[in-house]
């Protein structure tokens, strides 16, 4: 059975109508994906862009604290900050793209000499969802032991930090765990004791039991200065060896309950339930650097789950070419010394450096299962940033401006459509006006179906392209009509004239659409998000004009003026 062109266009139009009016999308908040569904209200399921539907605006401050400690030269620090911003912007772009958000803006904004990352996401009205997409920062850090002893200056700095932390947790006492999450790399430790005897607690409580016994339930106490506890090295046969390492600093705590129970030997004892915050008076780990570059997530390429030589699950971190050089230099200068690897502010491992490592990989060997190793590798690939982001502002973007602009754009499109039809009527008569209207409606229907199929976010720039493409497409029709008029004046038959009118106008139409398509491609490949949306929609309309509108116009000309010819 031979399939005619008229049948192809008819089927395409019917399928497009079904897609536009009876197909929608469901959004899965857990996976961030949108799936097709049947609905009786398909017109409301078109995805709208940020400037039409509104969305969410998040403002993040980039924390450069650890870089400012290493780079004292202002010019070097400025260059490092620029690199970090570039990496963060690329990471955010990749992260949002993977999660199916097609319309957003991300840019760096400078206020009072401080750079902020501003992210505006369309189609997401839930702030928590937006923060979950953008705010996931799993920082990767490599650190060496701090060789310097505490001084009065460094101790004063640490005490100031402790005062700040105390003020923060008193201000938001219901969210202490979140405030202190991932700060182990700063020697800030948050522990929750869920029913421990006095002998199981750090020395500061064992030596001062009244601290807990006389504390009011729910009240935060601190700062308590002095020795927190002493860690002894455990040797063979569980014997305690050495003089131990004293942890001095600043302690805060909040008692939840003191219960009567039994210790491990079955004897009656008090069981303490409380939160404990300890800030050491020194940083035991400092950023690993070769003197010029800090080794961290800035050089991270990807992570993968693997197995060690002993067959245990490990996570292997792969560094880029620059990272290979930095890692090689640092390991060569610190053979025999431990290197700590922190992920998300938590210490995972601190192996001794056995030899210089120049292959560009670092192995995290921890108490992993196969599944947990894979989860960590996936988290690193999705969330590693060279510097932490601090959420400073969050707000919803109102769609009111977009709604007004959308209404105006649709009104302008309707007026333009009517004006073009009136012009065509006076130039070519009723038949060609009706013919043009049919092709234009079919074109818009197929374009709308394509937008829904690809989940294209309809923005004001996309609407502008659609309105512009109507005029460009009618221009192609006018070329065909003029050539048809010329052929008929020469006395050619209507069928022959239609075929040759299309052939004679083909070159002009093709060249005009190709030149427009090239401009659209440049906008799409080199522009910002606004230009990309404009360019992508323009390329689609160019292709539809060449491969849908022009052939359909020829087919309808034959149907209107030469009905005996088979399509």
pLDDT at 39 over 80: yes
pLDDT digits (tens, 9 = 90+) for 441-499: 999 899 999 988 887 877 777 888 888 888 777 888 888 888 888 888 888 888 888 88
144 within some domain: no
pLDDT at 185 over 60: yes
Q: Is 268 strand, coil or helix?
A: strand
Three-state secondary structure of 12-73: HHHHHHHHHHHEEEEEECCCCEEEEEECCCHHHHCCECHHHHCEEEEEEEECCHHHHHHCCC
Q: Determine phi and psi for 214, rounding to 5 degrees.
A: -100, 0
112 within some domain: no
All residues at 6 or more sequence positions from 503 whose CB lies less than 8 Å from its CB, including other chains: none
Residue range 180-207: mean pLDDT, rounded: 90
CATH of the domain at 406: 1.20.1640.10
Domain with 217 in it = 152-283
- Nearest Cα neighbor of 297 from 263, 327, 337, 335 is 327
Cα angle 217-221-226, degrees, rounded to a multiple of 5: 135
Confidence of residue 91 (pLDDT cuts 50, 70, 90): confident
Confidence of residue 191 (pLDDT cuts 50, 70, 90): very high
415 within some domain: yes
363 within some domain: no
Confidence of residue 18 (pLDDT cuts 50, 70, 90): very high
Q: Does 261 share its domain with 404?
A: no
Whole-angstrom distance, CA of residue 404 vs CA of residue 52: 9
Among residues 267, 283, 299, the one where a domain terminates is: 283
Confidence of residue 409 (pLDDT cuts 50, 70, 90): confident
Are 53 and 122 in contact by the 8 Å Cβ rule? The answer is: yes
Confidence of residue 148 (pLDDT cuts 50, 70, 90): confident
Query: How much is the mean pLDDT over the chain?
Result: 82
All residues at 6 or more sequence positions from 510 whose CB lies less than 8 Å from its CB, including other chains: 546
Are 459 and 529 in contact by the 8 Å Cβ rule? The answer is: no
Whole-angstrom distance, CA of residue 65 vs CA of residue 510: 57
Q: Does 551 share its domain with 404?
A: yes
Among residues 283, 317, 337, the one where a domain terminates is: 283
Residue range 188-216: mean pLDDT, rounded: 92
pLDDT attached to residue 240: 42
pLDDT attached to residue 429: 87
- Residue of higher predicted confidence among 244 and 479: 479
pLDDT at 37 over 50: yes
344 within some domain: no
Whole-angstrom distance, CA of residue 541 vs CA of residue 217: 68
Q: Where are the alpha helices (DSSP H) in 390-459?
A: 400-428, 430-454
Whole-angstrom distance, CA of residue 228 vs CA of residue 243: 16
Q: What are the CA-CA distances from residue 33 to residues 29, 97, 137 (Å)? A: 7, 11, 21
12 within some domain: no
473-476 own/partner pairs: CB under 8 Å, 24+ apart: 473/440, 473/443, 473/541, 473/545, 473/549, 474/420, 474/424, 474/436, 474/440, 475/512, 476/505, 476/509, 476/512, 476/513, 476/545, 476/549, 476/550
Q: Does 404 share its domain with 536?
A: yes
- Nearest Cα neighbor of 202 from 274, 145, 284, 262 is 274
Residue range 25-50: mean pLDDT, rounded: 73
449 within some domain: yes
Whole-angstrom distance, CA of residue 360 vs CA of residue 299: 10
The radius of gyration of the chain's CA atoms, rounded to the nearest angstrom, is 34
Confidence of residue 500 (pLDDT cuts 50, 70, 90): confident
pLDDT digits (tens, 9 = 90+) for 340-397: 888 777 787 788 888 888 888 888 777 788 888 888 887 777 666 777 788 888 877 7
Among residues 283, 303, 329, the one where a domain terminates is: 283
User: Which helix or strand (DSSP H or E) is residue 6 part of?
Assistant: helix 5-22
- Residue of higher predicted confidence among 35 and 141: 141
pLDDT at 287 over 50: yes
Confidence of residue 97 (pLDDT cuts 50, 70, 90): low
Helices 494-526 and 460-489, packing angle to 10 deg = 150
Give the total number of structural domains in the chain.
2
Whole-angstrom distance, CA of residue 521 vs CA of residue 536: 7
109 within some domain: no
């Amino acid at each position: 059975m031979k399939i005619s062109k008229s049948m192809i266009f008819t089927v395409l139009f019917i399928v497009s109508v079904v897609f536009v009016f009876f197909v929608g999308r469901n959004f899965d908040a857990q996976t961030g994906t949108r799936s097709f569904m049947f609905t009786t209200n398909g017109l409301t399921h078109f995805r709208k862009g940020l400037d039409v539907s509104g969305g969410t605006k998040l403002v993040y401050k980039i924390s450069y604290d650890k870089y400012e400690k290493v780079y004292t030269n202002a010019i070097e620090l400025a260059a490092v900050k620029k690199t970090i911003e570039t990496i963060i912007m690329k990471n955010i772009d990749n992260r949002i793209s993977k999660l199916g958000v097609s319309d957003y803006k991300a840019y760096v904004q400078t206020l009072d000499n401080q750079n902020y990352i501003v992210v505006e996401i369309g189609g997401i009205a839930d702030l928590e969802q937006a923060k979950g997409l953008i705010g996931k920062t799993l920082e990767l850090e490599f650190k060496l032991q701090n060789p310097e002893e505490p001084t009065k200056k460094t101790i004063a700095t640490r005490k100031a930090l402790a005062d700040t932390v105390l003020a923060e947790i008193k201000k938001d006492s219901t969210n202490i765990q979140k405030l202190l999450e991932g700060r182990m790399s700063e020697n800030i430790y948050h522990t929750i004791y869920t029913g421990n005897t006095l002998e199981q607690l750090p020395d500061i409580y064992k030596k001062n039991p009244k601290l807990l016994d006389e504390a009011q339930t729910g009240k935060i106490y601190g700062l308590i200065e002095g020795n927190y506890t002493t860690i002894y090295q455990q040797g063979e046969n569980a014997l305690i060896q050495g003089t131990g390492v004293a942890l001095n600093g600043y302690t805060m705590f909040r008692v939840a309950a003191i219960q009567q129970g039994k210790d491990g030997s079955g004897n009656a004892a008090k069981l303490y339930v409380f939160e404990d915050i300890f800030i050491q008076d020194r940083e035991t780990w400092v950023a690993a650097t070769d003197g010029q570059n800090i080794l961290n997530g800035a050089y991270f390429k990807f992570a993968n789950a693997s197995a060690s030589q002993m067959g245990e699950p490990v996570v292997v971190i792969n560094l880029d070419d620059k990272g290979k050089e930095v890692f090689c230099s640092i390991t060569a200068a610190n053979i025999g010394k431990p290197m700590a690897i922190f992920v998300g502010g938590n210490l995972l491992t601190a192996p001794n450096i056995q030899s210089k490592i120049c292959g560009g990989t670092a192995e995290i060997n921890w108490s992993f299962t196969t599944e947990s190793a894979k989860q960590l590798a996936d988290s690193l690939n999705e969330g590693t940033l060279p510097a932490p982001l601090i959420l400073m502002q969050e707000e919803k973007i109102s769609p009111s401006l977009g709604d007004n602009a959308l209404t105006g754009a649709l009104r302008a499109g309707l007026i333009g459509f009517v004006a073009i039809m009136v012009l065509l009527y006076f130039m070519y008569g009723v038949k060609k006006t009706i013919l043009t209207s049919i092709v234009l409606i079919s074109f818009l229907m197929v374009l709308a179906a394509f937008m829904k199929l690809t989940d294209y976010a309809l923005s004001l720039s996309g609407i502008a392209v659609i309105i512009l493409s109507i005029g460009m497409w009618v221009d192609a029709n006018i070329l065909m009509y003029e050539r048809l008029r010329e052929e008929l004046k020469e006395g050619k038959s209507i069928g022959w004239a239609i075929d040759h009118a299309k052939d004679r106008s083909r070159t002009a139409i093709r060249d005009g659409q190709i030149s427009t398509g090239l401009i659209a491609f440049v906008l799409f490949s080199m522009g910002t998000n606004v230009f990309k949306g404009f360019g992508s929609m323009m390329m689609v309309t160019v292709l539809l004009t060449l491969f849908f509108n022009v052939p359909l116009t020829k087919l309808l000309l034959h149907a209107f003026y030469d009905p005996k010819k088979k399509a």
